[in-house]
């Protein structure tokens, strides 16, 4: 998979992220792979009733923003979650 496809696929749920991590261009897509990983990891808190649901909606907005940014071929940080770096 080329860089752009990897960037886009990473935001398509956990399945997409796993596909991007296994088959994608890990070296050049590091920014979006990291951002998608952070969003989906923090999104797991969405299973907590009430406060978690609000957080889940926020993570959904972040995932869509990251997805659009990847489609446009840009590297834009999502609010709050964008500053976390898990992949070195």
Partner 1 sequence: MKQPMSDREVYPALWITLIVMAVAYLIWRFALGCPPISECWFYGNFHIYCPGCGGTRAVIALVHGHYLQSLYYHPAVLFIAVSIVAYLASQTIWRLRGKRGMVLHYTDRWTDCVLAIFLINCAIRNFLWFKFHIPI
Between CA 18 and CA 12 the distance in angstroms is 10
Residue 81 C-beta: closest distance to partner 1, Å: 10
Among 2, 79, 85, 86, binds partner 1 (CB under 8 A): 79
- Are 46 and 52 spatial neighbours (Cβ–Cβ below 8 Å)? yes
Q: Report the SS3 class of residue 83.
A: helix
Between CA 74 and CA 76 the distance in angstroms is 6
Q: Of 7-15, 21-29, 36-44, 56-64, which part binds partner 1 (CB under 8 A)?
A: 56-64
Site string for partner 1, 16-35 (x = CB under 8 A): ---------------x----
């Amino acid at each position: 998979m080329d860089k752009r496809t990897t960037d886009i696929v990473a935001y398509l749920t956990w399945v997409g992220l796993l596909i991007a991590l296994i088959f994608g261009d890990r070296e050049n897509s590091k920014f979006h792979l990291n951002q998608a990983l952070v969003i989906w990891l923090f999104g797991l808190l969405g299973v907590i009733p009430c406060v978690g649901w609000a957080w889940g909606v926020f993570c959904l907005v972040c995932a869509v923003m990251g997805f659009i940014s990847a489609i446009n071929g840009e590297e834009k940080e999502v609010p709050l979650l964008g500053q976390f770096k898990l992949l070195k």
